[in-house]
Amino acid sequence: MGLSVQDRGRTVATFRHIHVEMMETLAQWTPSAPEMEVKLMLGEHIWDVAQNADALGKRTRELRLPLQHSIKPADPYAGLLADIRKEADTARRLGSFYDVLLPGLESRFRAYLDQTDELLDGPTVRILQQIQDVQSRMMKQSRKLRAELPELGKVDGEWLKALTRRESQIASVVA
């Protein structure tokens, strides 16, 4: 048996909250990152993430919740998002966002897609698949930028691994 309407609504609204938070994080980093090329990439990704949040927010109404409804994620995940947002160093910002947060979300989307009925919940399935495509491009762009400007890729590998562990240890983003 797939997920209930309520389960689906709560998950989609939580994903929306995460995307709005990610949009604000990228927006906050744009004036405070010194590197011009980083600002230009973040400017593009703010719009990408906003569109993802918007698509999820339109789906919430179809799942008996208000239009553009958000639900705050589980505390450990909200804490992770808040800590990443506070990062001040550009290399750590890029590492935490593009190497931890986005791949982690990708896994969570896959888990949701494995659980839900792809016919009954078709609209959510389509939205998540589209977001996966967008996020895959965003990660690729960040890798390309860091290959061009190697200083931006200089991040403590142990710190990044610990952050990845922290993310993966959060069983569910839904509160």
Partner 1 sequence: MPVLSPTETTVIRGITLRKEPAREGCFSVVKDNSKLSFNADPDYEKGKDMSEGNRRNRIHTHMHNEMQSIEIAAQCLVDFPDAPWELRMELARQCWDESRHSALLLRRLKEMGGHKGEFPVMHYEWYITGVQDSLAARLAIQNRTFEGGEMDILKVHAQMWRDEGDAVTAELLEGILSDEIHHVRFANIWLKRLAKDDPRVLLKVLTGISFMKWVSQVFAPAPEEVNSSGAKVTDTVHSSPTNVDDRRLAEFSDQEIAELLRQDGFGAIVPRPA
Residues of the shown chain interacting with partner 1 in the complex, contacts defined by CB under 8 A: 23-24, 26-28, 30-36, 39-44, 46-51, 54, 57, 68
Of residues 23 and 105, the one with the C-beta less far from partner 1: 23
Of residues 54 and 62, the one with the C-beta less far from partner 1: 54
- The Cα 45–Cα 47 span in angstroms is 5
Residue whose C-alpha is closest to residue 26's, from 46, 51, 50: 46
Q: Which two tokens stand for residue 95?
A: 């590492």
Of residues 23 and 163, the one with the C-beta less far from partner 1: 23
For the bound state, the minimum distance from the C-beta of residue 11 to partner 1, rounded and expressed in Å, comes to 20
State the residue for tokens 């959510």: 124
For the bound state, the minimum distance from the C-beta of residue 50 to partner 1, rounded and expressed in Å, comes to 4
**Cα atoms found within 13 Å of the Cα of residue 110, Cβ hemisphere only:** 7
For the bound state, the minimum distance from the C-beta of residue 94 to partner 1, rounded and expressed in Å, comes to 15
Contact 163, 100 (CB under 8 A): yes
For the bound state, the minimum distance from the C-beta of residue 23 to partner 1, rounded and expressed in Å, comes to 6
